[in-house]
Structure 1
C-alpha cells in the first residue's frame, strides 16, 4: 500500500529518485545521485519532450533531498533491460503505440505522464551511456532511443533526491526523465522554474544551501502559487492532498 501522505510530499517536490539511482557524468563515468555536487554536468536531453539531442547539463540544486527517509517508488522496467524508480508524481517522457526497440523517436511523438500513470506497452527514451555525445559525423549529437516498458511495479527504497539541471531533464539509470513533478506538463514546469535558473545565472546560486534536507523553498512557493491560480486538474491527484506541508 502507498500512503497518501507519502504521495503528497513527493508530489510537492521536483520529483524524486532513490539515493541508489545513478547518472552519467561528462567524463563518461557514473555517479550515485545522492553524491552529485553543484556545477557537475550530467547527461540530459535538450528537447522539451525528451527527444532532443543529448547534452551535458549543469546541476543547479536539489528540489528535494532527504538521504534518510524511505519512500515507495514506481519502478519502470523496459524490454531492453533498463530500470528506473520514481515517485508517483514524477514526470516521465513516454510515447504510445508501436515502437521499434532502439529506434529514434519521431518529432512530437513523446509526452510527459506521471510515473503512477505509466503502463506496460508504452515506450520510454533510454541512453546506454554518454559516449559519443557531441561527437559523431558532421558534429551530430546522440539522442535517446525508444524502449518498450515491460513491467511497472511499486517498491520501497531509501532516500529521495530531485536534482534540477539547467535543461530540466536528465538521464537516470539510462532512462530520460523530467526534473519536474506535480503539474501535468513538463513545459509548464520548466517555464515556472525560469526565475530560479536566472537567479543561478546571475549569482551562481539557486538560493539555498546545496546540502539542505527537504523540499527547496522555490518548489514550495510554486506549489502555493499554483494551487491558487491553476485548476486542480493540472496537478497530480495526490499533490493537493496535504497543501499545508
Structure 2
C-alpha cells in the first residue's frame, strides 16, 4: 500500500494525519468514493478507526444500545399476549378512575412537603398579603357565597389557575354541568376549619357540581387531581376538598442533589464536603443487605456549586440533618412491615424512620422530628458504584425522579461497566506519589468540569416520560 494513497479521512479537521499503526496518510480532500485500496486496507482502517474513538463516543454508543433495548421492550409490550414492557394501548384507552369517599391524592397528609405544604399563616382583609389574592370571575364556575361578602371568590394565583382548568374539564365531562365552589378563602375569626387550615390563605376550595349530583363527586375528585391540585380529598358525600402549594413555592430541581456543604465519610476515616469530592473517592454507602460499606464515586450526575435551589431538610431525634432536593430517594424503615424502602424526600413525614450511621458504626433507624424547606446555594449529585451514599450520617440513594431504587440502579449499569473497563485498563498498582499526582489531576479536571446534569443522566430523564408510567415518576 502506498503511503500517500487517498483514503477516507479519520478526522476531517486534521489537514495531515499520519497513522503509524496502519501506515496511512490522509487529508481533508479524502472521500469514501476516492478509495481504491486492496481488501487488507479496510482491515487496517477499521483497526485505526477503533483506536481513534474517544471515550465520549463509546459512552454514547452504549447509551444508544440501551435506548434501542428500551424501545424494543416497549414495542413488545404493545403486542398480543403477556407483555414485558409498558403497553401504550392502556394510555389510548385510559379512563379516569373516580375517587372513593375518604380517599385523598397523594396518599400523604395535606400539609406535607409532597402535597400542599405547610401553612404560612392566615390572611385577613387588612393583611399586607391580602392584595396577593385573586378575585375570580368565570362563566363556568358558580360561587355559593353564603357569607354575602364575595369571600369565596378570593384565592391564591395557583389555586385560581387550577380551578379554571378544572372548570373546563367539568364542562367537557358533563356538558350541561358547571363547577360549584362552596368555600374558598375564609375570613372568619373563629377558625371553624382548624387554625392551620389552608382556607385562611386562599389555598383551598371545597367544590361540588352545580346540579349537586353526588354520583358525580368521585369523578369530580379525579378531574381535580388531573387539573393539577396538589392535594385532593373526597372528604364526604357533600363536597370535595382541594388545596394547592403556596404561590411562593419554588419549582424543585429536576434531578436529585445534595447541598455542596453536606459531609460524607471517606475510606481513610476523614470527612469531606460534597464540593471537595472527586471521581475515585471511596465514601460510606449501603449495600443490598443494608450494611455500611465504602463505595467508589464513578461520576457526578449533577454538579453546580453556584446554582441556588430549594431543598428538603429533615432532622432526626438524635440531631442528624439531611438536606436534599425533593425528588431524591431516601432510605426509610417500616417497623410494622419490617421492611426497608426508598421514598422521595418530599413524601417523608414526621415520625417516619430514616437510617443513621451512629457512633457504633452501624446503621440504625431514627425518627424524623422536623421537616422544612430551605434555599441553599450549590448542588452536587455523586454516583457511587453501590448506588447509595451516607450523607451527614443519613443513608440515601444516589438516584432521584424514579421511585424505584432497583430500576434506577439498573439504568446506570452502562456507566458502572465503563468505569470497570477503565479501572481494568489503568490498574492501581502505582506508587503513592503517582496516586497523589493522579488525584491532583482529577481535582484540576473537576475544577474545569462543565456544570450541570451529566449527559447520560439528562438522556435518562428525557426518555423516562416515554418508557415509564406516571406512577413511577416524581
TM-score if structure 2 supplies the norm length? 0.42
Q: How much does 1:212 deviate?
A: 2.5
- Could you say which residue in structure 2 is the equivalent of 1:110? 340
What SS is found at the alignment partner of 2:418? helix
User: Is the radius of gyration larger for structure 1 or structure 2?
Assistant: 2
Q: TM-score normalized by structure 1?
A: 0.79
Deviates more, 1:210-219 or 1:187-196: 210-219
Deviates more, 1:120-129 or 1:167-176: 120-129
Equivalent residue for 1:158?
377
How far residue 221 of structure 1 moved from its aligned partner, in angstroms, is 1.2
Tell me by how many angstroms 1:219 deviates: 0.7
Instruction: Tell me how far apart the structure 2 counterparts of residues 82 and 180 of structure 1 sit (CA, whole Å).
Output: 21
Distance 1:62 1:77 in 2: 26
**Cα deviations by residue, 1:73-93 (Å, 9 ceiling, x for unpaired):** 000100011001000100001
Q: 2:259 aligns with which of 4, 10, 18?
A: 18
Match of 2:230?
Answer: none
Judge conservation of contact 1:52–1:143 (CA < 8 Å) in 2: no
The question of 1:123 aligning with 2:389 is answered no
Match of 1:78 in 2: 316
Q: Distance in 2 between matches of 1:224 and 1:203?
A: 27
- Equivalenced residues, count: 205
Equivalent residues of 1:61, 1:164 under 8 A apart: yes
Partner of 1:194: 413
What is the deviation of 1:3? 2.0
- Residue in 2 aligned with 1:241? none
Pair 1:44-2:285 in alignment: yes
Matches within 5 A, 1:95-106: 95-97=333-335
Q: Would you say the 8 A contact 1:125–1:146 is kept in 2? A: yes
* TM superposition outliers: structure 1 runs of 4+ over 3 Å: none
1:2 aligned to 2:240?
A: no
Please list every run of 5 or more consecutive structure 2 residues that lacks an aligned counterpart in the other structure. 1-247, 425-444
Alignment equivalent of 2:466, drawn from 225, 228, 232: 228
**Separation (CA, whole Å) in 1 of partners of 2:457 and 2:265:** 25
Matched, 1:29 2:270: yes
More helix by share: 2
Could you say which structure has the greater relative contact order, defined with CA pairs below 8 angstroms and 6 or more residues apart? 1
Q: Report the secondary structure of 2:339's partner residue.
A: coil
Equivalence for 2:397: 178
